Homo-oligomer: A and B are copies of this chain.
Amino acid sequence: MAVIVQKYGGTSVGTVDRIRNVAQRVAKRWREGHKVAVVVSAMAGETNRLIQLVHDTCSTPNMREYDVVISTGEQVTIGLMAIALEAIGVPAESFMAHQIRILTDSVHSKARILDVESSRLQATLQNGKVAVIAGFQGLDRQGDVTTLGRGGSDLTAVAIAAALGADVCEIYTDVEGVFTTDPNICSNARKIDRISYDEMLEMASLGAKVLQTRSVEFAKKYGVPIHVLSSFVEKTGTYVVKEEPAMEKVLVSSVTYNRDEAKISLRKVPDRPGIAAKVFTPLAEANIVVDMIIQNISREGYTDLTFTVPKSELARALEIIRATAEEMKVAEVLTDEHVSKVSIVGLGMKTHAGVAAKMFDTLAKEGINIQMISTSEIKISCVIQDKYTELAVRALHDAFQLGEEGGSVSQERL
């Protein structure tokens, strides 16, 4: 008899029929004798409809009120889900953030969870009922509704699992788990059985869309085992868990890519202390997230500085950078939107240096030029021309034998 938290996203509860299907899956676990708490998102399309209503009313809405409107989507789903469960004989009770006090800070539309008061939930589970919880929403200290931002329902599920000391937090999605790479690009991409929090964190921040970094960080912090699986197929998915000894044997566990970056280069920047601060402080103040930064060695008192920003922020970033560049007498500002970032992630890299060389060699053999390189303990990213994205992904996936049964190249085989 386990305590299980399940989370179903907008697609899984997109219609009344799908809500009834989910109810059947929940009922199955409940009938097996488990204590089940279910976290649900708004029905697919509903949150966008509500955002549209808000923006039709005002293009710069008051964010406290934005959250009041947006949070109704999840409320509708919990009511319908509890009704669907009761209709098939499963006693259920729905809860909004104010009923179980999912306490957050007051940063509306992207609040952070501070605490979950689990006593009412515990009582519901103890009484043999299924608890159905609205994802994505919280309550601040004043008693006002907040929302957690995109991917917030995953975060709710992990926080509820932590508060309940659940045995597992099952995240149901429209894919079967976490893959060695995007199956749309690489037909022999394999589902990964178990992966560490750290690898999953890197993958999420490098472009894998299946889980958001915030949820994985939260799960890591509280040691909540996550199981990512399909809500349409009954099949074991991917477990995201604490690092296990066997995991370090795998050098590379996945290949990810991200086409959403643009490159900005400042040519001939006068090289003196404080230039990096001068360039990046105004960007930070404008809330523009700079990803990779490369500064070449100085030549004749000048250096070149290159960095990437999200494509959607390029225009704003350029405006700011041009002002800085003028002030600093930079020779030239260059931009390139036709780039993409290809990365490999793996715990085994920590203890093995040959991985980077193999990655560069693989790309070189395909005639792909590497424009920027960035590394961490467990990942290597290369910026390349974006037309080579698929080719690079497939070549790396093959080179590290990720499509083969038994996982990727082990240290012994490299």
Q: Is the CB of A16 within 8 A of B53?
A: yes
Tell me if B76 and A69 are in contact (CB < 8 A). yes
What residues of chain B lie closer than 8 Å to A72, measured between beta carbons?
72, 75-76
Are the C-beta atoms of A83 and B98 separated by less than 8 Å? no
- A143 at the binding interface (Cβ < 8 Å): yes
Selected interface stretch from A28-36, A57-65, A298-306, A394-402: A57-65
- On whether the beta carbons of B65 and A86 are closer than 8 Å, the reply is yes
User: With A65-B86, A86-B62 in contact, do A79 and B54 touch (Cβ < 8 Å)?
Assistant: yes
Q: How far is the CA of A65 from the CA of B79 in the complex (A)?
A: 5
> A61 — which chain B residues lie within 8 A by C-beta?
83, 86-87
Asked if A56 is an interface residue, CB under 8 A from chain B, the answer is yes
Report yes or no: A86 in contact with B98, Cβ–Cβ below 8 A: no
Closest to A86 in B: B62
| The residue from B50, B66, B79 contacting A69, defined by CB atoms under 8 A apart | B79
Taking the complex as formed, is A78 at the interface, i.e. its CB lies under 8 A from any CB of chain B?
A: yes
Mark out the residues of chain A between 59 and 110 whose CB falls within 8 Å of any chain B CB in the assembled complex. 60-62, 64-72, 75-76, 78-80, 82-84, 86-87, 92-94, 96, 98-99
Q: How far is the CA of A58 from the CA of B86 in the complex (A)?
A: 9
- Does A314 have its Cβ within 8 Å of any Cβ on chain B? no
The listed residue (B70, B71, B87) touching A58 by CB distance below 8 A is: B87
| Complex Cα gap A65–B76 (Å) | 9
Q: Is the CB of B76 within 8 A of A62?
A: no
Hey, which chain B residues are within 8 Å of A82, CB to CB?
62, 64-65, 68
Hey, which chain B residues are within 8 Å of A94, CB to CB? 64-65, 68
CA distance A144 to B53 in the complex (A): 27
Closest CB of chain B to A349's CB: distance in Å? 48
Q: Which residues of B contact A68 (CB under 8 A)?
A: 75, 78-79, 82, 94, 96
- Pair B69/A57 contact, Cβ less than 8 Å: no
Q: Is the CB of A80 within 8 A of B69?
A: yes
Which residues of B sit under 8 angstroms from A98, Cβ to Cβ?
98, 143
Shortest distance between the CB of A17 and any CB in chain B (Å): 9
User: A20 within 8 Å of B by Cβ?
Assistant: yes
Please, how many angstroms separate the alpha-carbon atoms of A68 and B75 in the complex? 7
> Cβ of A201 < 8 Å from any Cβ of B?
no
Q: Given A53-B16, A57-B19, are A66 and B79 also a contact pair (CB < 8 Å)?
A: yes
Q: A143-B99, A144-B99 are in contact. Are A57 and B83 (CB under 8 A)?
A: yes
A residues in contact (CB < 8 Å) with B? 16, 19-20, 50, 53-54, 56-58, 60-62, 64-72, 75-76, 78-80, 82-84, 86-87, 92-94, 96, 98-99, 143-145
9 further contact pairs, Cβ within 8 A, besides A16-B57, A57-B84, A68-B75: A16-B56, A50-B76, A57-B80, A57-B87, A58-B84, A65-B80, A65-B86, A68-B82, A68-B94
Q: In the A-B complex, list the 6 residue pairs whose CB atoms are closest, starting with the nearest.
A: A69-B79, A68-B79, A72-B72, A58-B87, A65-B82, A16-B56
9 contacts between A and B (CB under 8 A): A16-B57, A57-B84, A58-B84, A65-B83, A68-B75, A68-B82, A72-B72, A72-B75, A72-B76
